[in-house]
Structure 1
Amino acid sequence: MKKIVWIYGLIAGAISVSWGVLSESVFSNSLSLNTRMILGYATMIVAFSLIFVAVKNYRDTQGNGQITFGKALGIGLLIALIASTLYVVVWEIDFRYFVPDFGDKYQAQAIAEMKQSGVSAAEIQKQSAEMTEMMQTYKTNTAYRAMFTYAEVAPVGILMSLLAALILKKKTKTAGSAQ
């Protein structure tokens, strides 16, 4: 089981990281925040869909065609943990060495998009003040940034783990049970 969890966890992590790095290095100025967010979550769904493959692989090769909900969920959650941790570690490196001005760029783009969409000056000022405070904490507190980043990616992995466990659980029928 360890081999399956590590292989699929690292592959899922690499896939989910790919969009984050690509979007910051190539598309940060050309795509809206909403578009980047949608594409980011779509990439995470693709990455975490490997949980289905891993659970089925385990069920068919090591579980003799059987797997309980708990075992399937455990495999999925471990894969999600590995992939999410890889995502957080790569983001920390990217943030620290390649995009230390991420907060400033994000805030500037968010304000520009609010202005374009006709948000009132008072609302822009209010949201700008909130973003400035949050981004200051984000920039200076590694634990806060890591938790924030885990909160971005881990729920997708948890949801996919639950779905995979529900869909792929399979127990053998006992001799006396009805077909």
Structure 2
Amino acid sequence: MIRSIVGYGIAAGLVVGSILFGTTVIFQHDVPSPAIGMLIGYAGMLLAFSLIFAGVKRHRDTTLGGVIGFWPALALGLGITLVATVFYVLAWEAALAVTAMDFGAEYAGQMVAEAERSGATGTALARARAEAAQFASNYARPAWRMAVTATEILPVGVLVSLIAAAVLRSRLHKR
């Protein structure tokens, strides 16, 4: 199972990491709207995590003789997810280093602009500015930034792992 986790995890990580790194470098000066960025990002995650289905099915069919339970299939999917997550986080860190992008400050600016667009004034606007400043400060810390980055991809991998385990599990029938 470890071999499948590592192999398919690396493949999924290379797919999602390449998409993240490539789009970040390409769009560093001409950033698309947040909605377009999220669409590209989550589509890349789903593409990469399609390898969970391939990994579970192959492991079931070649190693386990066509039989796998829900929990072992889920464990395999989650293992692939964790390996791919490491690649995703490293790709984001590499993209930030290569582009010298200050994502924390840019996002904080978007937070304040959104508050202003929604009509916040006085105390509400001051609160939005304080929250944005806190976000930028936290995002400057690598451990916090990496944890936040991991939370982008992990839920998608968990969901795909649950679906793959449910779809690909096999039940032994007594005859």
TM-score per shorter chain, which class?
0.7 to 0.9
Contact 2:73 2:164 in 1 (8 A): yes
TM superposition shift of 1:104: 2.3
Secondary structure of the equivalent of 1:131? helix
Give the match's secondary structure for 1:49. Answer: helix
Task: Compute the displacement of 1:112 (Å).
Answer: 5.3
Q: Aligned runs of 1:38-117 on 2, under 5 Å?
A: 38-109=39-110
Task: Assess if the C-alpha contact under 8 Å between 2:108 and 2:135 holds in 1.
Answer: no
* 18-27 or 30-39: bigger deviation: 18-27
Q: Give the direction of change, closer, same or farther, for the CA distance of 1:163–1:60 in structure 2 (3 Å limit).
A: same
In 1, distance between residues paired with 2:139 and 2:165? 35
CA-CA distance at 1:100 after TM superposition: 4.4
Number of equivalenced pairs: 172
The CA distance in 1 between the partners of 2:40 and 2:113, in whole Å, is 20
Stretches of structure 2 that go unaligned for 5 or more consecutive residues are none
CA contact (8 A) 1:33 1:110 kept: no
- The answer to whether residue 144 in structure 2 is matched with residue 149 in structure 1 is no
Q: CA deviation at 1:155?
A: 0.9
Residue 9 of structure 1 pairs with residue 33 of structure 2: no
Deviation readout 1:21-49 (Å, 9 max, x if unpaired): 12321224241012101221121111112
Q: Which residue of 2 aligns with 1:135?
A: 136
Residue type matched to 1:65 in 2?
A: G
The percentage of aligned residue pairs carrying the same residue is 36
Q: Which amino acid aligns with 1:74?
A: A
Cα offsets for 1:131-151 (capped at 9, x unmatched): 221111111x22211211111
Kindly provide the CA deviation profile for residues 56-85 of structure 1, in whole angstroms up to 9, marking residues without a partner as x.
Answer: 111111111110111101110100000001
Q: Is the 8 A contact 1:59 1:66 kept in 2?
A: yes
What's the secondary structure of 1:170's corresponding residue? coil
CA drift of 1:55 comes to: 0.5
**Alpha-carbon distance in structure 2 between the residues aligned to 1:39 and 1:125:** 33
1:18 Cα offset (Å): 2.2
Find the aligned partners of 2:19 and 2:108 in 1 and give their Cα distance: 20
| Corresponding position of 1:34 | 35
* Preserved contact between residue 33 and residue 109 of structure 1 (Cα < 8 Å): no
**Whole-Å Cα distance in 1 between the matches of residues 57 and 156 of structure 2?**
19
Letter in 1 for 2:153: V
Aligned-partner Cα distance in 2 for 1:137–1:37: 22
TM-score normalised per structure 1: 0.84
| CA–CA separation in structure 1 for the residues paired with 2:15 and 2:128 | 32
Aligned-pair distance for 1:96? 3.8
